[in-house]
Amino acid sequence: MLKILLPILILAGLIGLVVSLDDERPRADVVLVHGTDLFTLDPQKMSYLHDLRASRAIYETLATIRPDGSVGPAAAESWEISEDGTRYVFHLRDGLKFSNGDPVTAEDFKYAWRRAILPDTAATYSSLFMDIAGAEAFFEWRSDLLALRTDPDLRDEMVADGAFSPVDADAILAEDEKASHRRTLERFDAMVGIDAIDDRTLVVDLERPLLYFLDLAAFGTFSPVHRPTLEAATTLEPDSGRIKEDRGWTKPGRLVGNGPFELTRWRYQRDCRFERNSHYWNTANVPSDSIEAIVIEDPNTAIMAFEAGEADWLPDVLADFRADMIEQRIAYETRHRTAIDAAIETGREIDEILASLPAPSSGERRNIHSVDAFGTDFFHVNCRELLANGDRNPFADPRVRRAIALTIDKQALVERVTRLNERTSGSFVPAGSIPGYQPPAGLPFDPERGRAQLDAAGWKLASDGVRRNADGEPFPTLEILFSTGSPRYKDLSLALRDMWRRELGIPCEIGGRPGNEYRAQLENGNFMVARGGWYGDYGDPTTFLDLNRTDDGNNHRGYSNPAYDDLLERAAIEPDPERRMRLLEEAEVILVEQDLPILPICTYVTLYMYEPGRLTGLTKHPRLDQNPARWAIRP
């Protein structure tokens, strides 16, 4: 054992030495590992999880996601919602300040949200703002204006299409970039339902009731920005008038935020450090003075650093042997099963229980934690009448789709293929992830029923042992498309191939493609069954269910059911929250028990690594919305 540990300790020690050579600051109170460097600290341009996690340190939104997944107040101390659900009035806390001491006002939120809506910004999550009254129309207007200024020859075409009147088109082409910018700001104020009526009051009007709008208001992209900093970093392109920003405004010394911490160091591909923001309104209740994220790309090296005490938390354990680590955790819990069960009955948290038990023995561990995530692993099924090559598609028949769904042994997949013991799922929306929503059970593993469905669809076993239709045509070879980016995808595809061959007697093969090629084939509908996966963006079932709307851009399956679409439309205008959830549950029943355009496999898990009882403040709710203002290390 010593021979194994010695190189690990040496390597981890070298990591710590290199990190500390040119910086004399003490170790941060909480140190976590990022598998890659931050992409951006511009809240309106964030999309990656570790960027959004960092946003919680340096920015604060109007609302926040509590540890139990519910929404609570943050920069806004309260709000009112109109009876029809289309107007939100947010009241900011008194005395809010940015990290440089400047006041935080409602205008700062309006400015930031306008950035997210402007096409100039190219915000990944601009779509989340499009239910604000006039936002989508303004986005299209601004896009047309930029196109016209970039290419004046489009003038007559745009006038004919009604994008601009002849007078407006000529005025737009005649004015300079500053006048064009003023026109844009005036147009935004006139069109978009965001109004800072005073320093502490922000009024937001929506196109329609959006019962999860508070959840959106807690999303990192909705963070405010410091206007003087952004304005100093902004220029206008002379020809187009497009807004351009110097990305250096997000660097230490320039970045000004309103969150519990401020950025004090960011060294490319090495680390970033956040230290207490003394101007934060709730700083007295922030338990840690500093947080640091070190970049370790190799998953095995990250574990070494943790074992050597260089890190307190690994937010995503990706080492090849992680399944073995889970088995070691199971072995530890098995040895202490009686004590754990007894303690759980008293209402104690599992981390507290684990910390009170004896240290792990050889072959055991208690510092690996499998946490259900807000995502579902699934496979797409092509629902179109014809395949991309023009052949008839057997999976256009929902009975055939049900047949392959009923012959998936999901428990075997999570136990023997992924070996992570994820929670199997018959639904698309992860169970327990959204308060008030109960997803359907989905279809069970029932091979006999699966074969009956295939028979009912006309694909029966002939005397030669081949499944044929009434015309004597053999069932076409089912090819499972997957991306070669991860062994998981191939392993699951192989397992499904073997299950469908064995249980249904149909020919089945797998076909791996590089990521870009896989994506192109998926988007072009050039597949029968394809590996998929989805993580929710906000705390509402529609973040999953909308993917199967007839006209949704992520509906790569070509699925269309008017009854399903109608339920989503009725839910969209239903003012009663409980009734709305029942409509969405009814829609998901169609999705996962009747039509099966997707084949849910399991709820994704995220593997955390930390010592129970030492690192506190993490939530294990599936949303996994971790707030750095709650993190602390116990001595």
CA distances (Å), origin 55, targets 42, 221, 490: 8, 9, 35
Kindly give, in sequence order, each residue whose CB lies less than 8 Å from that of residue 244, ignoring residues fewer than 6 positions away. 120, 234, 235, 236, 237
Class assignment of domain 374-606?
A: alpha beta
CA distances (Å), origin 369, targets 12, 329, 365: 22, 8, 10
pLDDT in tens, 199-232: 999 999 999 999 999 999 999 999 999 999 999 9
User: Is there a contact between 615 and 30 (Cβ–Cβ < 8 Å)?
Assistant: yes
| 258 vs 104: CA distance, rounded Å | 7
Residue 159 above 90 pLDDT?
yes
Considering Cα of 518, then 522, then 523, then 525, what sign does the dihedral take? positive
Q: 6 vs 273, which has greater pLDDT?
A: 273
* Angle between helices 398-406 and 487-504 in degrees, nearest 10: 100
Cα–Cα–Cα angle for 116, 114, 434, nearest 5°?
55
Q: H helices within 165-270, ranges in order?
A: 166-174, 177-191, 213-217, 227-232
Please count the other Cβ atoms lying within 10 Å of the Cβ belonging to residue 516. Answer: 9
Best CA proximity match to 475, nearest among 511, 506, 499, 500: 506
Kindly give, in sequence order, each residue whose CB lies less than 8 Å from that of residue 182, ignoring residues fewer than 6 positions away. none
The percentage of residues in the chain with a pLDDT greater than 70, rounded to a whole number, is: 96
**CA 418: distance to chain centroid?**
21
3-state SS class at 247? helix
Overall average pLDDT of the 432-451 stretch: 96
Task: Quote the tokens at residue 182.
Answer: 């003023």
Measure the CA dihedral 154/157/163/167, to 10°.
Answer: 80
Q: Can you give the pLDDT at residue 4?
A: 42
Residue 8 above 60 pLDDT?
no
The percentage of residues in the chain with a pLDDT greater than 90, rounded to a whole number, is: 92
Task: Quote the tokens at residue 601.
Answer: 């496999």
| 199 vs 411: CA distance, rounded Å | 55
**Secondary structure of the chain: what % helix, strand, coil (to 5)?**
40, 20, 40
Please state the CATH superfamily assignment of the domain spanning residues 35-247 in this structure: Dipeptide-binding Protein; Domain 1 (3.90.76.10)
Strand partners, 375: 535
* Angle between helices 299-307 and 2-20 in degrees, nearest 10: 90
pLDDT in tens, 521-531: 999 999 999 99
User: Is there a contact between 64 and 77 (Cβ–Cβ < 8 Å)?
Assistant: no
Place of tokens 């001491």: 101
User: Is there a contact between 104 and 90 (Cβ–Cβ < 8 Å)?
Assistant: no
Query: Three-state secondary structure along 387-398?
Result: CCCCCECHHHCH
| 101 vs 112: CA distance, rounded Å | 19
pLDDT in tens, 462-520: 999 899 999 999 999 999 999 998 899 999 999 999 999 999 999 999 999 998 999 99
Residue 14 above 60 pLDDT?
no
Q: Can you give the pLDDT at residue 2?
A: 39
Q: What are the residue boundaries of the structural domains of the chain, listed by start?
A: 35-247, 374-606
CA-only gyration radius of the chain, Å: 27
| 266 vs 262: CA distance, rounded Å | 11
- Cα separation of the two ends of the chain: 28
Q: Can you give the pLDDT at residue 150?
A: 96
Residue 421: CA atoms inside 13 Å, Cβ hemisphere, count?
Answer: 13
**CA 256: distance to chain centroid?**
26
Overall average pLDDT of the 80-100 stretch: 96
Q: Is the model's pTM score more than 0.85?
A: yes
Name the pLDDT band for 22 (thresholds 50, 70, 90). Answer: low
- Check residue 492 and report its DSSP letter: H
| 349 vs 371: CA distance, rounded Å | 14
Per-chain mean pLDDT for the chain: 94
User: Is there a contact between 490 and 510 (Cβ–Cβ < 8 Å)?
Assistant: yes
Q: Can you give the pLDDT at residue 25?
A: 81
Q: Can you give the pLDDT at residue 635?
A: 83
Task: Quote the tokens at residue 44.
Answer: 């309106």
3-state SS class at 336? coil
| 223 vs 218: CA distance, rounded Å | 8
pLDDT in tens, 160-208: 999 999 999 999 999 999 999 999 999 999 999 999 999 999 999 999 9
Q: Can you give the pLDDT at residue 23?
A: 61
| 239 vs 260: CA distance, rounded Å | 41
* DSSP string across 225-246: --HHHHHHTEEE-TTT--EEE-
Name the pLDDT band for 124 (thresholds 50, 70, 90). Answer: confident
Question: For the chain, what's the residue count?
Answer: 635
| 397 vs 376: CA distance, rounded Å | 24
Measure the CA dihedral 6/11/17/18, to 10°.
Answer: 170
Residue 12 above 60 pLDDT?
no
Considering Cα of 170, then 174, then 180, then 183, what sign does the dihedral take? negative
pLDDT in tens, 251-308: 999 999 999 999 999 999 999 999 999 999 999 999 999 999 999 999 999 999 999 9
Cα–Cα–Cα angle for 29, 35, 36, nearest 5°?
105
Place of tokens 């004399």: 24
Strand partners, 234: 245
